[in-house]
Amino acid sequence: MTIQQLKYIVALDEHRNFVKAAEECMVTQPGLTIQLKNLEEEIGIKIFDRTKVPLKPTTPGKEIINRAKKILREVDDIRDFVIHEKNQLEGECTIGVISTLSPYLVPQFIKKMKEVAPKIHFTIKELPTGLLINDALTGDIDIALMATPTGANGLKERPVFYEPFVAYLNSNHPMAGATHYELQPQDKPQLLLLEHEYCYNAQLLDICGLTGSADKHDGFTYDISSIETLKNLVKADLGFAILPLLSVINEKENPLYKEFNDPKPVREISLVVAETFSRKLLLQKISEALYSCLPHSMKQEFKYKKIQWNDSPYFVESVKGLF
């Protein structure tokens, strides 16, 4: 017994004519007749008396038709509920964000979403990439804002924007006066990475053509978890950094950061949700709000090279056994 078969018998009861019922159901008359026959054979009861003109339901057929109408009303209610759920902008929403993006975008995003969806209470969590993937799959967070593609089964990714990487130099660097940065061999061993940010680190290593990171810089080992700390280490001439553009966008007058020549290395930033996530309107509004917070330069077309991380041997080895 199918929902479609129930629709057929309700239409037949209304029109008492196979041709008209078939037209309403947008099916051929023979097709409708076959489906009615299949249903009657399945339940072992004649629903309509075909000897009568016009067609009439049998006594048990009347009860079956009444119950079919009730079921179809409930199906419509379920459909309306699903549509409402997909389009409501109220309730709770937990968003996980990578720490290399959160400080530079989330404050503006929160202000924007207060205007767009004032009835939603957002909880924002800064998490490393591995935990974002895990928590999106388990439902501990509703949406992850992170670098993609993840390559993870069970997740859907909605790209929002491409963020260029820039080189961060100290004032004594040979390219401090250049308009754009070109990778220097002497910078590679001085590359500063972030502790536990394996996705981010994998991208930096790819840009520099490195398979692994140097553990020491001039006799020191740095266990760093903040981009702001990286900046200060570079300013003190204690290393070299590649940073996401949004982390320096308010330093336009600062000569310490340089954009790469085209094609610029970029990371793809996406909203990532479980395949079962159904709040499509909310996802659309969040995507629009995030994009509206970007500087004008990131909304213009430019040549870029997307830097991936999920297939990096460094990343695979670093997260082994962690999640």
Q: Is 52 exposed, middle or buried (0-12, 13-18, 19+ CB in 10 A)?
A: exposed
Domains of the chain: 3-87 (1.10.10.10), 91-161+267-297+310-315 (3.40.190.10), 164-265 (3.40.190.10)
Query: What is the C-alpha separation between 184 and 174, in angstroms, rounded?
Result: 9
Q: What span, in angstroms and rounded, lies between the C-alpha atoms of 249 and 161? A: 15
Backbone angles phi, psi at 190, to 5 degrees: -95, 5
Instruction: List Cα–Cα distances, 297 to 158, 177, 247, 249, 258, in angstroms.
Output: 21, 22, 14, 10, 14
pLDDT tens for residues 253-269?
Answer: 667 899 999 999 999 99
Look at residue 315 and tell me whether its pLDDT is greater than 70.
yes
Residue 80 confidence class, pLDDT cut points 50, 70, 90: low
**pLDDT above 70 (res 218):** no
Q: If you ran DSSP here, which 8-state letter would residue 187 be given?
A: G
The arithmetic mean of pLDDT across residues 172-193, rounded, is 91
Residue-level pLDDT at 259:
92
Question: 17 with 54: CB under 8 angstroms?
Answer: yes
- Mean of pLDDT values over 295-308: 91
Please tell me the predicted confidence (pLDDT) of residue 271: 97
- Rounded CA-CA distance 168/222 in Å is 17
Q: Please give the pLDDT value at position 166.
A: 96
The 10s digit of each residue's pLDDT in 153-162 is 999 999 999 9
Residue 219 is given by DSSP the state: T
Residue type (1 letter), 108: Q
What was the pLDDT predicted at 151?
A: 85
Q: Tens digits of per-residue pLDDT, 135-155?
A: 999 899 999 999 999 988 999
Distance (Å, whole) CA 136 – CA 152: 11
Per-residue pLDDT at 323 exceeds 60: no
What does the pLDDT read at residue 217? 59
User: Which residues, 6 or more positions from 233, have their beta carbon under 8 angstroms from its beta carbon?
Assistant: 192, 222, 224, 239, 241
Backbone dihedral angles phi then psi of residue 319, each to the nearest 5 degrees: -95, 0
For the chain, the average pLDDT equals 89
Q: Of 208, 152, 161, nearest to 185 (Cα)? A: 208
Residue 78 is predicted with a pLDDT of: 82
* Residue 84: predicted pLDDT: 65
DSSP run (H or E) holding 91: strand 91-97
Residue located via tokens 């990171």: 213
Quote the pLDDT of residue 53: 81
**219-228, 284-293, 296-305: least confident range:** 219-228
Instruction: Read off the pLDDT of residues 1-30 as tens digits, 9 standing for 90 and up.
Output: 899 999 999 999 999 999 999 999 999 999
Please name the residues in contact with 60: beta carbons below 8 A apart, sequence gap of 6 or more.
45, 46, 47
Q: pLDDT tens for residues 226-257?
A: 999 999 999 998 889 999 999 998 887 667 89
Phi, psi of 301 (to 5 degrees): -75, 140
Tokens 């290593």 correspond to what residue?
A: 205
Is the pLDDT at 214 greater than 60? The verdict is no
Average the pLDDT over 300-311 and give the result: 90
